[in-house]
Amino acid sequence: MGAREFGWGLFSGAAIGLTLAVLFAPQSGEETREQLASAADDLRESATTVLNQARESINEATTKLEGALGLQERRIRRKMDELKAELAKYSEEASEA
């Protein structure tokens, strides 16, 4: 499960739980408002955590991708240098013949 799906699941679950809590709350309006405020704070903290985890995952993936691309670039440059050397060798042999 990706961070995005987890985040949506977390958000959906919190919203459903909050709605049910309001509908079936046996306490006064003041207590309900305090619970709603607390639940909203918890939801905000959870969303922040999910976003931070997603950022970290993206940064890690970017770093890995940059490393892989750098490795491929070095391999390609090395192969191009080898091909240039072979081409120069054949060109030299052709001009001597």
What does the pLDDT look like over 4-39, one tens digit per residue?
777 778 778 888 887 787 777 777 778 878 887 888
What does the pLDDT look like over 45-87, one tens digit per residue?
888 888 888 888 898 988 888 888 888 888 898 999 988 888 8
Q: How far apart are CA 97 and CA 86, in angstroms?
A: 17
Q: How far apart are CA 53 and CA 91, in angstroms?
A: 56
**97 pLDDT more than 70:** no
Specify whether the CB–CB gap between 7 and 52 falls below 8 A: no
What is the pTM for the complete model shown? 0.48
**1 pLDDT more than 70:** no
